[in-house]
A and B are shown apart, each in its own frame.
Chain A
Amino acid sequence: MYSEKTILKHPWSVRIFHYLLILSFLPLAMTGIILYFKPLSESAVNLAMQVHVVCGVILTIDAIAYLLIGFNRVILFIKRIFTMSVTDIKWFMILGGYPQKLLLKKKVTVPPMGKYNSGQKLFGICVFTGGSVLIFTGWILWAFPHLVPGETVYLLGLLHTISAWILTLFLPVHLFLGIYMFDDFKAMILHGKIPYEEAKETAPLWVEKEIIPISRNQC
């Protein structure tokens, strides 16, 4: 049985940021698909557009607020997701051992990972760059398509569509694995803590190098 030691992986600022991400991005993706294919009646598509706009505003405010409030955490996040090495290639070659675990019920040795495994780093890059592109282009497409030169708007529309598809297709992977790894799910969605032993197994380099016990003076 695990001991009851836990690590605070996601403080409340991170969790609130993430709740708002879920609240805004899931409708954005779904309405985005409706807007791309336009399969419904005119009023329905217009409603989808309105929902898309409202959620886009929420996403923008969430992103900007977190950028300002948690600027140091954003910097740390960027440092982590862009720090790649040969270990990451090795991880991708076995896809982190997930297909084997899920489909073949076989356990394979995975190269030691930090706080984010290679797949999560890739997802992090997609979310940071793709999300920024979507927000930037989204505002211009909504507010200024008649003021910004046409060729530029066309280019922005293309970038918006490409980033949207990358994130929307990557999202189910994130949702599935995020729920499958149930301890991590509880950490992000509920209380922010992850069992020490669990972390040592899935993110050994993180536990080894970056985790410290809280001192008696901290409350």
Chain B
Amino acid sequence: MEKQSYQYIENPLQVTRREFITIGGMVVAFLAIPTVWITLVTSSSSRYLQARTKGLYQDDTKAAVRVSHANKSVARYYKEFGGTPLGHISEELLHTKYINRTKVLS
């Protein structure tokens, strides 16, 4: 333990109660406000995503035709050119094979 070898100290009553509360309040605010801000910003970060999702579902809701098999233009494509789904023209043009890339490729 340290010997009391000093003769003077700071007067402990340097801050009035009002000053204490004001400054104390400002310190707490200074620390709390950024925390609240970050939390708000982060929790609303997927809002743009939900907006885009909603936009597409709205495009669906207001569409005159909502099922692929009723698309008259697709039907016309098959009739005039494509044949039938999974038919031989589809196999040639609209289907593909995949590559095993764990084997060495050139």
- Do A and B associate with each other? yes
Ranked nearest first, the 10 interchain pairs of A and B with the lowest CB-CB distance are A7-B8, A8-B6, A6-B6, A149-B45, A193-B6, A212-B11, A211-B8, A75-B23, A5-B7, A8-B9
- Cross-interface CB contact of B10 among A5, A147, A152, A210, cutoff 8 Å: A210
Interface set, chain B 13-66, CB cutoff 8 A to A: 14-15, 19-20, 23-24, 26-27, 30-31, 34-35, 38, 41-42, 45
Complex interface bits, A1-44 against B, C-beta within 8 A gives 1, otherwise 0: 00001111100100000000000000000000000000000000
Give the A-B pair count, Cβ closer than 8 A.
80
A97-B60 Cα distance, complex, nearest whole Å: 77
Interface size range of chain B in the complex: 20 to 34
Is B106 engaged at the interface, CB distance under 8 Å to the other chain?
Answer: no
> How many of chain A's residues have a CB under 8 angstroms from any CB in B?
32
CB distance from A70 to the nearest CB of B (A): 12
Interface set, chain A 198-219, CB cutoff 8 A to B: 210-214, 218-219
A140-B35 Cα distance, complex, nearest whole Å: 10
Give B residues with C-beta under 8 Å from A.
2, 4-11, 14-15, 19-20, 23-24, 26-27, 30-31, 34-35, 38, 41-42, 45
Let me know if B4 and A193 touch, CB within 8 A. no
Chain A contacts of B15 at CB under 8 A? 72, 75-76, 79
**What are 21 A-B pairs with beta-carbon distances under 8 A?**
A5-B7, A5-B8, A6-B6, A6-B7, A6-B8, A9-B10, A72-B20, A74-B27, A75-B24, A79-B14, A79-B19, A132-B30, A147-B42, A147-B45, A148-B41, A148-B45, A149-B45, A211-B10, A212-B11, A213-B7, A214-B9
Is A78 engaged at the interface, CB distance under 8 Å to the other chain?
Answer: yes
Q: A76-B15, A196-B8, A212-B9 are in contact. List 8 more A-B contacts (CB 8 A).
A: A6-B6, A9-B10, A75-B24, A147-B42, A152-B41, A210-B10, A211-B10, A218-B4
